[in-house]
């Protein structure tokens, strides 16, 4: 079972109307859940090999890296992506950062300051659980700063990401799109199961009440920051297995696109083999 069209094409945000998106759909994929899970495991193994190649590249002076930006409403499954998708690769090569309400120190700085400090080093896959996009999402919806402050940020973010890409980072931006009905189910579960209470935050209901404002803010993000150098992908996320498969595909594609090969030896192989043969512990 394979993708009908490449994930990049099936999930491209260009021209997408979020209000019309079916969040239970599985764009590009016509198989069922079992086939989707099998494909995820299969692609995950490939992704893991490619991640090792990227790591080796970084260790030998290469400059490439990958940055996965995850955005979505509460319960959309950002944590599940980290656990189940990034969980398939060597943790040494993954740098995860979550961005919550800015700390007192962060508030004294430009909003991109904490982002710059968290960028993946060469050879790594960086993962942002929330990101600089919060500065045009929650900040816009909750009126945390005036419009004339957040409005220029779209262009500023585009320029910032262009700089990243120029320096060798592939930026993969994923919006996990959940439906309000599915969110209600997931929040209810958090309130009904003691082992899920820790995930519940009363503030999630406040954000849920502003669903339409958030949708408009997300639409603006897609319309204004999906660029050729750093496109957005919109992943319908009501089916967790599909979202995990889709992100695995996108990451695998990004890694394949680097076109890396194993770094050559920086020693003479024949000499070292001879030394090994002659060595006596």
Which residues of this chain interact with ligand ADP, rule CB under 6 A? 74, 99-102, 130, 134-135, 138-139, 144, 201
Cβ proximity to ligand ADP: between 100 and 281 the closer is: 100
CB of 96 to ligand ADP, least distance (A): 12
The Cα–Cα gap between 34 and 26 comes to 13
The Cα–Cα gap between 138 and 55 comes to 34
The Cα–Cα gap between 78 and 219 comes to 19
CB of 144 to ligand ADP, least distance (A): 6
Query: Residue 196 has what DSSP assignment?
Result: G
**What does each C-alpha distance from 161 to 154, 193, 218, 233 come to in angstroms?**
11, 40, 18, 15
CB of 74 to ligand ADP, least distance (A): 5
> DSSP 3-state assignment of 72?
strand
CB of 251 to ligand ADP, least distance (A): 20
**What does each C-alpha distance from 214 to 138, 142, 179, 180, 219 come to in angstroms?**
8, 10, 12, 12, 8
Cβ proximity to ligand ADP: between 54 and 141 the closer is: 141
CB of 116 to ligand ADP, least distance (A): 14
Q: How does strand 65-72 pair with strand 169-177?
A: parallel
Cβ proximity to ligand ADP: between 12 and 138 the closer is: 138
CB of 169 to ligand ADP, least distance (A): 21
How many Å separate Cα 124 from the centre of its chain? 13
Cβ proximity to ligand ADP: between 144 and 258 the closer is: 144
Cβ proximity to ligand ADP: between 29 and 133 the closer is: 133
Cβ proximity to ligand ADP: between 8 and 97 the closer is: 97
DSSP string computed for 11-46: TB-TT--GGG--TT--TT--S-HHHHHHHHHHHHHH
């Amino acid at each position: 079972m394979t993708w009908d069209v490449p994930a990049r094409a099936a999930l491209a945000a260009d021209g997408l109307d979020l209000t019309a998106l079916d969040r239970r759909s599985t764009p590009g994929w016509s198989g069922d859940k079992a086939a989707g899970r099998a494909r995820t495991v299969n692609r995950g193994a490939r992704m893991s090999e490619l991640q090792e190649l990227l790591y080796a590249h970084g260790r030998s002076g290469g400059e490439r890296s990958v940055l996965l930006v995850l955005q979505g409403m509460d319960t959309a499954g950002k944590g599940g992506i980290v656990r189940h998708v990034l969980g398939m690769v060597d943790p040494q090569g993954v740098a995860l950062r979550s961005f919550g309400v800015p700390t007192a120190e962060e508030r004294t700085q430009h909003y991109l300051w904490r982002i710059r400090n968290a960028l993946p080093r060469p050879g790594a896959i960086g993962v942002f659980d929330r990101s600089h996009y919060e500065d045009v999402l929650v900040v816009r919806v909750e009126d945390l700063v005036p419009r004339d402050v957040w409005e220029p940020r779209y262009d500023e973010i585009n320029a910032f990401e262009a700089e990243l890409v120029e320096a060798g980072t592939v930026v993969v931006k994923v919006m996990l799109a959940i439906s309000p009905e599915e969110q209600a189910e997931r929040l209810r579960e958090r309130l009904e199961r003691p082992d899920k209470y820790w995930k519940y935050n009363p503030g999630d209901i406040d954000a849920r009440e502003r669903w339409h404002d958030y949708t408009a803010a997300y639409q603006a993000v897609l319309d204004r920051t999906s660029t050729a150098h750093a496109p957005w992908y919109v992943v319908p996320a009501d089916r967790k297995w599909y979202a995990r498969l889709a992100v695995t595909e996108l990451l695998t594609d990004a890694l394949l696109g680097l076109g890396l090969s194993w770094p050559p030896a920086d020693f003479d192989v024949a000499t070292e083999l001879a030394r090994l043969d002659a060595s006596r512990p």
